[in-house]
Amino acid sequence: MNMIGSRLLPLVLSAALLGCAVTLPAMPSRAVSGETLAVGRVITVLTGPTNRWFAPELRFFEVVNRASGERVRVNVQSSDSWFVLPLPAGEYELSRIQISEGAFIGLAGLEPTFRIGAGETTYIGTWRLGIESPQYDRSVLLSAVLEPEQAVRDGIGSVISLGARPLSVSLLSPSTVETRLYEAPPYPRFWWFKRHHTS
C-alpha cells in the first residue's frame, strides 16, 4: 500500500463507521418496562388524487442523537403505526423519512427535534405525513399533534404497560415542516416511468 493509501484508510474506515445506523423495529418483539423510552404514532396519507395502485406507506424514519451523532433507523412498513423506542436520554433530530408506493420510493430530509428525559416514557407526538400527489415537484408535509393520553396508553399497551407511570410529552419542534420528496433508486422498470428529482 502506498503512502497516500495508508493515510486515507483510517479516514475511509471512520467515515464508514460513522455512516452506520442502528436499526430498530417500530414495536419491540418483547414487552419492555423500566427503560428510557420514546413512544408515538406515525400516519401516512395522500393529500390528492393519484393514478398509482398503491397507497403511500412509511418504510422507515431515522433519528439522530444530537450530542453523540448516533443514528437510529426505525423500520415501520405501514401507513399507520405506533412505535416504542428504547433510546438513551437526550436531544434528537428527526433527520429523514422514506416513503413507498408499491415499487416507487421517495426520500425526504427533515430537521425537527425532540427531547427524551432519563428514566422517562416520553410521548413525542402523533406524526401525520401528508404526501402530495405524484408530480414533477412533490412535497411532504409533516405535522405533529397530541392525542389524548388514554389513546396513547391504549396504542402502546401491547408492548408496555405504563400503569401509574407518568407519560412525559415532547412534541416535535417545529411541529409543522414541509419539504421536498425525492424519488430514490431502485427505479421501477416500466417504460412509462420517468425519473424527476432524484436523491
What is the number of structural domains in the chain? 1
Determine what percent of the chain is predicted with pLDDT higher than 70: 82
pLDDT digits (tens, 9 = 90+) for 97-110: 999 987 788 999 99
pLDDT of residue 55: 84
Determine the Cα–Cα distance for residues 155 and 142; give it in Å rounded to an integer: 21
Better-predicted residue by pLDDT, 95 or 11:
95
Categorize the per-residue pLDDT at 162 as very low, low, confident or very high, splitting at 50, 70 and 90: confident
Look at residue 81 and tell me if it is in a domain.
yes
- The answer to whether position 192 is within a domain reads no
**C-alpha grid cell, residue 63:** 433519528
- Indicate whether 195 belongs to any domain: no
Mean of pLDDT over the chain:
83
Element (H, E) at 72: strand 71-78
The pLDDT assigned to 186 comes to 65
Cα separation, 38 vs 61, whole angstroms: 14
Q: Are strands 37-46 and 113-116 parallel, antiparallel or unpaired?
A: unpaired
Is the pLDDT at 8 greater than 80? The verdict is no
Q: Looking at this protein, which amino acid is placed at residue 21?
A: A
Residue 189: inside a domain, yes or no? no
Q: Using one digit for the tens of pLDDT, what is the confidence trace for 19-75?
A: 577 999 998 877 776 689 999 999 999 887 777 678 889 999 999 999 999 999 999
Domain hosting residue 124, numbered range: 23-183
Torsions phi, psi of 154, nearest 5?
Answer: -70, -40
The residue-averaged pLDDT of 175-193 equals 75
In a domain, 7, yes or no: no
Identify whether 166 is part of a domain.
yes
Cell of 45: 396519507
Q: What is the pLDDT of residue 188?
A: 58
Per-residue pLDDT averaged across 150-162, rounded?
88
Asked if residue 3 belongs to a domain, the reply is: no
In a domain, 15, yes or no: no
